[in-house]
Structure 1
Amino acid sequence: MIGIVSTYGNLLLAAMGQTLLLALCGLFFACILGLIFGLLSVVKNRACNIVSIIFVDAIRGVPMIVLAFYIYLGMPALFNSILGFNGVTLTALQAGTICLALNCGAYMAEIIRAGIESVDKGQMEAARSLGLPYWRAMVRVVLPQAIRTMIPSIINQFIITLKDTSILSVIGFPELVNTAKNVVANSFKVFEVWTIVAIMYLVVITALSVLAKKVERRLNRGRE
C-alpha cells in the first residue's frame, strides 16, 4: 500500500481535487435551481406550483446514471441530429456539472421549500402589513430566517453530492473512482487501491459531517 501511495498518491490527490471541484460546481448551480423551484413551490400560484412539482418529480424519478448519459450523449445528439446544429459537444466536466446541478437541485428545492415553510406565517403577514411587496418580504424577511434552518441540510446534501460524483466515472470524468480504475489497471493492486480510495472518501466526508453537526449545534444555541 505504501508503494501505491508513493507512486500514485499525487494522482489520487489530484483526482480528489477534481471530485471536490465537480461537487462544488454542481452544488453552486443546484442552489440556484433549488432556490428558483423552491420559491415556485410556495407561491400562491397553481401554475408555478405545478412547474416546481414537475421538475422535482421528473429529476428525482430518473436514476442519476441515466441522467448522466442523457446529458453527456443524448443532448449533443439532440442538437446535432434532430435540431440541425453541427459539432455540439459537452465535456465531461460540463455534463457532470449539469447532471449534479439538476439532481441536487431537485432535492435542494425541497430543502428550501421546507425551510421557508418552517418560518412562522406571521412573519410574511407582518412584512406585508408594513407595505413590503411579496417578493421583497420573501427575500428580506422570510429567507434570512429560513436559511438558518436550511444550512445543516445543505451541508448534508453536499456530502451526498460528493458521493454521487463517483457515478460520473461512467462518462469519463477524471474524478477519484475513474482515476482509481486506471491505477488498478496499471498496478494490478486491487485491494490496496480501493482501500486508499475508501479512506480518502471517509476522511473528507467525516470532516464534512463533523462540520454539519457543529453548524447545527451552533444554530440551535442561537435559537435558545
Structure 2
Amino acid sequence: MIEALMESAYIKSLPFLWEGLQVTIAITALGLLFGTIIGAMAGLGKLSKSKIIRGIWTVYVEIIRGTPILAQALFIYFGISEDLIGINLDAFTTGVIAIAINAGAYIAEIVRGAVYSIDKGQHEAGRSLGLSKRQTMRYIIWPQAFKRMIPPLGNQFVISLKDTSILSVIAVHDLVYKGKQYYNATVEVFETLVMVCLLYLCITIPLAIILRRLERKLDV
C-alpha cells in the first residue's frame, strides 16, 4: 500500500513542484515586504494635509487598483526595456516588483482606513499630553490602528500568494509554471494539478488558522 502510494503520480510530482513552491513563497515574502513599506507610505501619504503628496499617492493607488496584476507584470517585464532604465529585469525580479506594487496599493487603503478609523479624540489626547503629532501617531494611533490592520493584511497575504500564479506567463518558475512543465512532460495533468492546489492549501489554511488565533488573542 505504502509502496504503491510512493510510486503514484501524485507523490512523484512533489520534488519537482517543491522547487516551484519555494519560488512562490520567496516572491510572495519579498513582494509583501516591499509592498508593506510602499503601502504604509502611500496610506499615510493619502492622509497628508499636503494636496501634492496626497494627490501623488492617490493617483498611484487608483492606477494600480484599477488595472489587473497580469497587465502590470507584462508591462514591467516587456514594456520597461533595458534601454529605458538601463537594467535588464529578469522574471523573478519582475515578479517581486509586480507583487510589491500591486499589494502596496491595497495595503495603502488598509493603512489609511485603519488610521482613519481611530477616534479623533485619541489625537487630541496625545497632543494634550504634550506629544508631537509624530509621537502621537507612533505611540497612540499606530498601535491601535495596527491591530485593526491584521485581518485585512492577512487576507492580502493570501491574495498575493495566489496572484503569483499569474506570473507563470512571464516564465517565473513558480508552482504553477513547474506544474505545467511536469504535466507537459508526463501527461499526468489531473494528478499534477491536484498536487498544485494541495500545496497552495498547505500554506493558506495554516495561515488562516494562525490569523484567527492572533485576532482572538489581540481581541481585534
Structure 2 length-normalised TM: 0.91
Looking at structure 2, the residues matched to 135 and 70 of structure 1 have their Cα atoms a distance apart, in angstroms, of: 37
Looking at structure 1, the residues matched to 129 and 37 of structure 2 have their Cα atoms a distance apart, in angstroms, of: 29
Q: Which residue in the other structure is 2:22 paired with? A: 17
Aligned letter for 1:26? G
Looking at structure 2, the residues matched to 105 and 198 of structure 1 have their Cα atoms a distance apart, in angstroms, of: 26
RMSD: 1.7
Deviation at 1:43, TM superposition (A): 2.4
Q: Which residue in the other structure is 1:137 paired with? A: 136
Deviation at 1:44, TM superposition (A): 2.4
Deviation at 1:49, TM superposition (A): 2.0
Structure 1 length-normalised TM: 0.90
Please state if 1:67 is matched with 2:66: no
Aligned letter for 2:197? A
Q: 1:78-131 deviations in whole A, cap 9, x for unaligned?
A: x50x57x4xx21111111111000100000000001111121211111222333
Looking at structure 2, the residues matched to 27 and 194 of structure 1 have their Cα atoms a distance apart, in angstroms, of: 26
The answer on whether the counterparts of 1:72 and 1:92 sit within 8 Å (CA) in structure 2 is yes
| Secondary structure in structure 1 of the residue aligned to 2:130 | coil
State how 1:206-217 maps to structure 2 within 5 Å.
206-217=205-216
Aligned letter for 2:199? M
Deviation at 1:6, TM superposition (A): 4.1
Q: Which residue in the other structure is 1:49 paired with? A: 54
Residue ranges of structure 2 left out of the alignment (5+ in a row): none
Q: Which residue in the other structure is 2:41 paired with? A: 36
Looking at structure 2, the residues matched to 192 and 95 of structure 1 have their Cα atoms a distance apart, in angstroms, of: 30
Deviation at 1:47, TM superposition (A): 2.3
The answer on whether the counterparts of 1:56 and 1:109 sit within 8 Å (CA) in structure 2 is yes
Deviation at 1:180, TM superposition (A): 0.3
Deviation at 1:36, TM superposition (A): 0.2
Deviation at 1:62, TM superposition (A): 1.3
Comparing 39-48 with 91-100, which one deviates more in the overlay? 39-48
Q: 1:151-204 deviations in whole A, cap 9, x for unaligned?
A: 121111100000000000111111100000000111001111111111111222
The answer on whether the counterparts of 1:23 and 1:165 sit within 8 Å (CA) in structure 2 is yes
The answer on whether the counterparts of 1:152 and 1:215 sit within 8 Å (CA) in structure 2 is no
Q: Count residues in correspondence.
A: 215
| Secondary structure in structure 2 of the residue aligned to 1:42 | coil
